[in-house]
Chain A
Amino acid sequence: MIPAVIVFCYLGVVLYIGIFAFRHQGSGGRAEDYFLAGRALGPAVFLLSLFGTNMTAFTILGSAGHAFANGIVTFGLMASSSAFVIPLTLFFVGTRMWALGKRHGFMTPVQMFRDRWECGHIGTMIFALQAALLVPYIIIGVMGGGTALRAITGGVIPYWLGGAVVALVVMSYVFFGGMRGTAWVNTFQTVLFLSFGAIALVVIARGVGGFPAAIESLMASPATAPLLTRERISPLFFFSYTFIPLSTIAFPHITIFCLTARRMGQFKRTIIFYPLCILAIWLPCVFLGVAANAMRDVPRIEQKLEARQALASAPASMPAEERASLRRQAAGDDVVPIMLQQFAPLWLAGILGAGIMAAVMASDSQILALSTMFTEDVFAYYGGKARFGENVQVQTGRIFVVLLTVVAYMIALRAPQSIFDLAVQYAFSGYSALSPLLIAALFWKRSTKWGALAVTLWVAFAVIYTARVPGALAWFGLMPVVPMTLISCALMIVVSLMTRPPSHETVQRYSL
């Protein structure tokens, strides 16, 4: 009961921060203030919020679960590659986006594409693809909220109620606080879950009597020793993963967030500290996930290990349902909460549970970004703003936030999570393959709207194709994201060179 009380106190604080931020509106235009916090976020909020925006339920729960099954490779695949690629894209792309946003006043990437390439409906197509790839992310956020709240409260709060509570809290502060509320909440959440890793590591280390013995026991067993190396995966597959972080800068919620900094200098600390933040949260979670394999005296972990063993020795004739059931039992997404329940005092487990909730409630930025995109790229572009005014535009954005949250919640109640887990994986590949759009718009004067159209159509086709045909585009042992991104680059170059570039005046306006 104590963890549940602490988590609900945390949700109350989150709501308060969102509403408190709502009361402190800046002096910019109403739409710019609501959707971009008046382009006036300070350095600390910008760093912590940008990092928090990019961390999801996967950061704490999924990373430990992946490491529980696959070992230390999880860190190299997902964390250290991001620690290098993401700040680099912020340095080269984020700063340029910020400068052009200030210069031309756009609020979404599609606004920039339309202006830069002198196009209209091609921009609408890019909007549709970006939105389609973002929606599964929002649904998975609502699902993560329901699952985490149920796990932290030991089942006292059922999944449907947990999902509803989390969706309602997120919707409320996005509705009232807009970008400013969301950024402040993200800042608070990031501080909480950055502290989580170190505290959880210390508490669990004390509980098991130190980690050296646990790691030695893993090394001694032929079944678990490979978890401490990367011998089970190929170097080419490992290399492929360095393409995935390219998706970050192409995600609309990150691109839009780059426009919120008051000064460009605020990118500096974000770029420098981003790799260290990744280290602080991912290293403990990955290590704990691996170390959980040695904790056979924890009954729920022992059950998982037995299920994994049964799965490994299962005959080919085993029915698919039985195999799926064993896979579910062996899944390790909840190993960190299980270890905390075993080794941490109740009050601390509650605080650390709030840390998990902080990482799980990551759908806020995506909801706000989709609302910004809808109101700017569709409502305003097709005449709504000119006809009804800016106040109506902001209210439309708020109504969109409510509708989107309700629809995401309804889908989360009915559809199995595995579908959306997969969809999010495809979304990452899709956004990585869309990154050449942003890079061409910002750096290549000769790029054209037809090149952009070719990339958009290719990415839409490739995402559907790889989702429907298992193993599609996995050439030479590489992940599909590699050919998807390289073909996007090639299409942008070839089609642009074959077609007429934008007017000299437009190209000059984008010269920096």
Chain B
Amino acid sequence: MRPVHLLLAAAIAALYVLHQDIWFWRSATPLVFGFLPIGLAYHGAYCIAASALMWALTRLAWPAHLESAQSSFSSARAARSGSTSRARQE
């Protein structure tokens, strides 16, 4: 596994753990922008962090090799009908 992939895997695990924000469990303050309870603001910011992580994933770990499947589409459809017939013999 490449180092950048390891880093991304660690970031995914870290963000999953960060969802469980027990440190703001019993507190409503400080109020962000004067009206958003801190627990709600934290999870709002969490969504933005999730979006940033997804951006990093699509930039650094995009499974580009899957796109080559397009080219074999036509020929493989024939294979599918054959395999479906095989499966029906179960």
A residues touching B (Cβ–Cβ < 8 Å)? 72-73, 75-76, 79-81, 83-84, 87-88, 91, 95-96, 98-100, 102-106, 111, 114-115, 118-123, 210-212, 214-215, 219, 225, 228-231, 235, 238-239, 242, 263-265, 268, 271-276, 278-279, 283, 286-287, 290, 381, 506, 509, 512
Would A83 and B46 count as touching, CB distance under 8 A? Answer: yes
Would A105 and B77 count as touching, CB distance under 8 A? Answer: yes
- List 5 A-B pairs, Cβ < 8 Å: A91-B57, A104-B80, A279-B44, A279-B48, A283-B40
Most buried by B among A120, A275, A283: A275
Most buried by A among B39, B46, B51: B51
| Shortest distance from the beta carbon of B58 to any chain A beta carbon, whole Å | 5
Cβ of B3 < 8 Å from any Cβ of A?
no
How far is B26's CA from A120's CA once the two chains are assembled, in angstroms? 53
Would B54 and A87 count as touching, CB distance under 8 A? Answer: yes
Question: Interface on chain B toward A: helix, strand, loop, or mixed SS?
Answer: helix
Provided the pairs A105-B77, A212-B35, A279-B44 are in contact, do residues A271 and B57 lie with their beta carbons within 8 angstroms?
yes
Would B40 and A512 count as touching, CB distance under 8 A? Answer: no
How far is B58's CA from A83's CA once the two chains are assembled, in angstroms? 16
Would B50 and A265 count as touching, CB distance under 8 A? Answer: no
Residues in A neighbouring B25, C-beta threshold 8 A = 229-231, 235
Residues in B neighbouring A235, C-beta threshold 8 A = 20, 22, 25
Would B90 and A83 count as touching, CB distance under 8 A? Answer: no
How far is B20's CA from A121's CA once the two chains are assembled, in angstroms? 42
User: Which one of A87, A100, A215 contacts B69 once the chains associate, using CB atoms below 8 Å?
Assistant: A100
| Shortest distance from the beta carbon of A236 to any chain B beta carbon, whole Å | 10
> Which residue of the partner chain A has the closest CB to B20?
A239
Residues in A neighbouring B72, C-beta threshold 8 A = 103
Would A264 and B28 count as touching, CB distance under 8 A? Answer: no
Total interface residues on B, CB under 8 Å, equals 51
| Shortest distance from the beta carbon of B42 to any chain A beta carbon, whole Å | 8
> Which residue of the partner chain B has the closest CB to A77?
B43
User: Which one of B36, B46, B80 contacts A115 once the chains associate, using CB atoms below 8 Å?
Assistant: B80
Residues in B neighbouring A264, C-beta threshold 8 A = 66-67, 70
Residues in B neighbouring A290, C-beta threshold 8 A = 37, 40
How far is B57's CA from A273's CA once the two chains are assembled, in angstroms? 13
> Which residue of the partner chain B has the closest CB to A509?
B79
How far is B79's CA from A509's CA once the two chains are assembled, in angstroms? 9
Cβ of B4 < 8 Å from any Cβ of A?
no
Cβ of B1 < 8 Å from any Cβ of A?
no
Would B58 and A91 count as touching, CB distance under 8 A? Answer: yes
> Which residue of the partner chain A has the closest CB to B55?
A272
User: Which one of A79, A81, A120, A512 contacts B66 once the chains associate, using CB atoms below 8 Å?
Assistant: A512
Residues in B neighbouring A230, C-beta threshold 8 A = 24-26, 39
Residues in A neighbouring B83, C-beta threshold 8 A = 104, 115, 118, 506, 509
Residues in A neighbouring B77, C-beta threshold 8 A = 104-105
In the complex, per-residue mask of B5-27: 1 if CB is within 8 Å of any chain A CB, else 0? 00000001001100111101111
Would B51 and A72 count as touching, CB distance under 8 A? Answer: no
How far is B79's CA from A215's CA once the two chains are assembled, in angstroms? 62
Most buried by A among B22, B46, B47: B47
User: Which one of A80, A95, A105, A215 contacts B46 once the chains associate, using CB atoms below 8 Å?
Assistant: A80
How far is B80's CA from A115's CA once the two chains are assembled, in angstroms? 8
Would B37 and A212 count as touching, CB distance under 8 A? Answer: no
How far is B55's CA from A76's CA once the two chains are assembled, in angstroms? 22
How far is B28's CA from A212's CA once the two chains are assembled, in angstroms? 13
The 7 closest A-B pairs by CB, nearest first: A228-B28, A99-B66, A105-B77, A99-B69, A211-B35, A279-B47, A275-B50
How far is B63's CA from A433's CA once the two chains are assembled, in angstroms? 26
Residues in A neighbouring B29, C-beta threshold 8 A = 219
Would B37 and A104 count as touching, CB distance under 8 A? Answer: no
> Which residue of the partner chain A has the closest CB to B88?
A120
How far is B15's CA from A58's CA once the two chains are assembled, in angstroms? 26
Would B90 and A275 count as touching, CB distance under 8 A? Answer: no
| Shortest distance from the beta carbon of B74 to any chain A beta carbon, whole Å | 9
